């Protein structure tokens, strides 16, 4: 009689799942098939997954098992399931950036990151929901519906990579590709108790990423822990002839992080007490393990969100100009060309996207360009200088990801200013182009996850991840799963 099928525990990381496979305790086919069940049930209930690729994924997993048998693995992630956010192109399925404008769009080719992962044997299992065109902090603006936070389904999972984080927060074995323009990997990771990295700008190719704010956008991993994120980064990073802004020279330093500074502005008024305390407690824990912890003031942080709103909307208005119903995007027929543009854009874009396009067009318009856009660029230089200067004294800067805990679905959706407040602590890393790693660091009294972030100098991505791995050996916050999920 055959013994019942065995699987790694639900919270198991990618590394642990790989161990199971390599020891022959389960196959990649078993793992992928069981993970697909999770996506079809809880993944769909959460609203996190839009499409799954069952036939393709199971066939790919079978091939991976064969390679393993023959000792011909393609890379360390061979046989491991992963998802891509709806704004990252894939040859299978659709890529619609969760917008009615692109619904049903088949890109027909893989983004560079996806191609590299598939080339390394990883198994693409589906596409995750996100805010429309990655504009949002709550995942309430997706044309596929609202995504729920697995820790409390009445609350938002954070955005815009909310689908990816909701999955990573509630199940292991897999990793997810998100994108981060102003916090969209880190905020949902913090809200769902997952680990996520926004890499140094240029480290990861943007070819195949649907552009939002090109000087800020980066693709990065969301997973259970920092060591899984490091495996993914190893596979996707590096120069790409299809993205002329991708970096040819990667800083390969793996020197340990020894000095960390708390950023005072991340602990001021407006930040929830429970969050301040959890991140300070994390700093103490680091000190107990021999890390030198100091405090630094970054007054430029107060200007970061205003600066971001100007630059991100300006770039968005330009990037989204192509969706006119003729070149790209769904068309609403009209007799007159101007009317066709207007009707197509009105029907295709949601309220938040339209708001950004209007704001961006305004800040770039003749007569206002100098007072808004050019000024924001000057402020961005100051922010970058401030961050660089602070990072000359220490190896990493530590602050919370979000000023508050995940809030109820619907609470802020009609109040854009309250929504933009979610981003006050995350946009700085994008403006400065530096890497930032979000790590779970505890829970508040209501049992809602709290996340902290570490920002490092440009190129120090692997140092941050290595430090994250260390921190996760000292603590167990990242092992927790929400109750209620079937095992």
So which residues are the catalytic ones?
A: 85, 160, 184
CB atoms near residue 337 (< 10 Å): 11
Residues paired with residue 246 on neighbouring β-strands, in sequence order: none
DSSP letter at 398?
Answer: E
Site size toward ligand GLN (CB under 6 A) is 13
CB of 35: closest distance to ligand GLN in angstroms? 26
Nearer to ligand GLN, 283 or 301 (CB): 301
d(CA 309, CA 142): 20
| Residue carrying the six token digits 């959890």 | 278
**Does residue number 134 form part of the binding site for ligand GLN (CB under 6 A)?**
yes
Q: Is 360 in the site for ligand GLN (CB under 6 A)?
A: no
Binding ligand GLN (rule: CB under 6 A), the pick from 423, 428, 464, 466 is 423
| Rounded distance between C-alpha atoms, residue 53 and residue 98, angstroms | 18
Backbone angles phi, psi at 239, to 5 degrees: -55, 145
Residue 212 lies near ligand GLN (rule: CB under 6 A): yes
Mask 276-315, x = binds ligand GLN (CB under 6 A)? ------------------------------------x---
Give the binding range for ligand GLN (CB under 6 A) out of 134-142, 229-237, 266-274, 326-334: 134-142
CB-CB contact of 43 with 150 (8 Å) = no
C-beta neighbour count of 19 within 10 angstroms: 13
Closest approach of ligand GLN to the CB of residue 150, in Å: 20
- Taking CB atoms, the residue at the shortest distance from ligand GLN is 184
Helix (H) or strand (E) holding 125: strand 123-128
Q: Write the DSSP symbol of residue 370.
A: I
Asked whether position 177 contacts ligand GLN by CB under 6 A, the answer is no
Q: Tell whether residue 195 is a contact of ligand GLN (CB under 6 A).
A: no
Provide the CB-side half-sphere exposure for 368 (13 A, CA): 10
In the complex, least distance from residue 137 CB atom to ligand GLN, rounded to whole angstroms:
4
Q: Min. distance of Cβ 175 from ligand GLN in angstroms?
A: 19
Per-residue burial over 421-436, b if 16 or more Cβ lie within 10 Å, else e, is: bbbbbbbbbbbbbbbb
Does residue 47 bind ligand GLN (CB under 6 A)? no
Question: Is residue 240 within the footprint of ligand GLN (CB under 6 A)?
Answer: no
Stretch that binds ligand GLN, among 54-62, 113-121, 128-136, 226-234 (CB under 6 A): 128-136
Please name which of 38, 36, 73 lies closest in space to residue 57, comparing C-alpha atoms: 36
Q: Where do contacts with ligand GLN occur on this chain (CB under 6 A)?
A: 134-137, 160, 180-184, 212, 312, 423
């Amino acid at each position: 009689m055959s013994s019942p099928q065995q699987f790694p525990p639900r919270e198991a990381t990618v590394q642990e799942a790989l161990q199971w496979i390599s020891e022959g305790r389960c196959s990649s086919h078993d793992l992928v098939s069981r993970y697909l069940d999770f996506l079809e049930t809880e993944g769909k209930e959460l609203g996190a997954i839009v499409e799954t690729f069952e036939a393709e994924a199971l066939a790919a997993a079978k091939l991976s098992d064969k390679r393993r048998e023959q000792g011909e693995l393609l890379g360390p992630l061979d046989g491991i399931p992963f998802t891509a956010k709806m704004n990252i192109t894939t040859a299978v399925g659709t890529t619609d950036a969760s917008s009615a404008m692109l619904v049903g769009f088949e890109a027909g080719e893989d983004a560079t990151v996806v191609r590299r992962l598939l080339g390394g044997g990883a198994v693409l299992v589906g596409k995750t929901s996100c805010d429309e065109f990655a504009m949002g902090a709550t995942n309430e603006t997706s044309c596929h519906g609202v995504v729920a936070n697995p820790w409390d389904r009445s609350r938002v999972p954070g955005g815009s990579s909310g689908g990816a984080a909701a999955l990573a927060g509630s199940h292991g074995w897999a990793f997810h590709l998100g994108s981060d323009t102003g916090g969209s990997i880190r905020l949902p990771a913090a809200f769902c108790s997952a680990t996520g990295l926004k890499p140094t700008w240029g480290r990861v190719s943007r070819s195949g990423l649907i552009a939002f704010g090109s000087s800020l956008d980066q693709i990065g991993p969301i997973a259970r822990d920092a060591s899984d994120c490091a495996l993914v980064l190893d596979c996707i990073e590096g120069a790409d002839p299809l993205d002329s802004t991708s970096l040819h020279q990667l800083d390969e330093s793996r020197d340990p992080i020894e000095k960390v500074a708390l950023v005072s502005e991340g602990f001021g008024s407006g930040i929830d007490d429970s969050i301040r305390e959890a991140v300070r407690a994390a700093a103490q824990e680091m000190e107990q393990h021999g890390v030198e912890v100091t405090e630094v003031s970054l007054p430029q942080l107060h200007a970061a969100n205003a600066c971001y709103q100007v630059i991100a909307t300006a770039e968005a208005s330009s990037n989204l100009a192509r969706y006119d119903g003729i070149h790209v995007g769904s068309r609403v027929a009209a007799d007159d060309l101007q009317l066709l543009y207007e009707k197509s854009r009105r029907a295709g874009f949601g309220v938040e996207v339209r708001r950004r396009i209007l704001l961006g067009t305004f800040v770039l318009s003749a007569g206002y360009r100098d007072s808004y856009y050019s000024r924001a660029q000057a402020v961005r230089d100051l922010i970058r200088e401030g961050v660089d200067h602070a990072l000359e004294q220490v190896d990493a800067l530590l602050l919370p990801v979000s000023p508050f805990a995940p809030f109820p679905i619907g609470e802020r959706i009609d109040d854009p200013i309250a929504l933009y407040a979610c981003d006050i602590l995350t946009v700085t890393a994008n403006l400065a182009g530096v890497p930032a790693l979000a790590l779970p660091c505890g829970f508040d009294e209501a049992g809602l996850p709290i996340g902290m972030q570490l920002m490092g100098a440009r190129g120090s991505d692997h140092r941050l991840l290595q430090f994250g791995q260390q921190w996760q050996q000292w603590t167990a916050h990242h092992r927790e799963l929400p109750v209620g999920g079937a095992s």
